[in-house]
Amino acid sequence: MALGTLVGLFLGFAQISLVTPVKKGAWLTTHFFRNAPWLVLLFYCLFLLPFQVTVLGLTFPIPDWIKATFGLSLPVMANVSEIVRGALQSIPTTQWESAASLAFTRRQTLWMIILPQCIKRMLPPWMNLYEILTMATVLTSIVGVNEMMSLTRQALSAENRPGLLLAFYSYVLFWFFLYCYPIARWTVRLEARYAVNI
């Protein structure tokens, strides 16, 4: 999520760039990854990335979970990019104009004037995305990464007692809720903090 957010932020900036190739490139990247199914991207990364890399004679294996993280960060990046673009464009152009008239550079305007006003608008969709991503981590079980779902299934098959099914899956749901809820609360707090009479 952090990786996807960071890259997505810059991709979002690039989407409002004045340099046409940058803008077009960012647009294409965003829409390509946003409109691709997460599972396909996951498979893609798992089979396309090498099993190991050799740097200066040393061989490092790339574990599946890293590939899976990378695979999931691609759609996150694309979605964040759109969240950022939407928020940036929702700020009245008069803010850009007034910053320009005070001799701010475009970069200064973006970082100091436009982006701080965007945070409040970006938080709810960002939180949505974060929860969707959390839910999507179970996808990685399909490509063989040990996450909660695959562990649960292993435990269930080891026990071979159908009666436990409900209890186990309830337990999983409970943990997901426990993981997501505090973050949801935290974003609500953040929203309140950035809500200064705008």
Residues that bind other proteins (CB under 8 A): 94-95, 97-106, 108, 112-113, 116-117, 194, 196-198
Q: Least distance in Å: CB of 22 to other proteins?
A: 16
Kindly tell me which of 117 and 150 has the beta carbon lying closer to other proteins.
117
Whether residue 168 contacts residue 152, with contact meaning beta carbons closer than 8 Å, is answered with yes
Residue 92 vs residues 112, 118, 179: alpha-carbon distances, Å: 15, 11, 36
Q: Least distance in Å: CB of 99 to other proteins?
A: 8
Among residues 24, 30, 39, the alpha carbon closest in space to that of 9 is found at 30
Kindly tell me which of 97 and 159 has the beta carbon lying closer to other proteins.
97
Kindly tell me which of 27 and 194 has the beta carbon lying closer to other proteins.
194
Sequence-distant (6+) residues with CB within 8 A of 46 are: 64, 67, 68, 71, 143, 144
Q: Least distance in Å: CB of 92 to other proteins?
A: 8
Kindly tell me which of 176 and 194 has the beta carbon lying closer to other proteins.
194
Sequence-distant (6+) residues with CB within 8 A of 118 are: 84, 87, 88, 90, 91
- Cα–Cα distance, 196 to 174 (Å, whole number): 35
Q: Least distance in Å: CB of 187 to other proteins?
A: 18
Looking up tokens 């001799």, which residue turns up?
A: 103
Kindly tell me which of 93 and 157 has the beta carbon lying closer to other proteins.
93
Q: Least distance in Å: CB of 100 to other proteins?
A: 6
Provide the terminal-to-terminal Cα distance of the chain, rounded to the nearest Å: 28
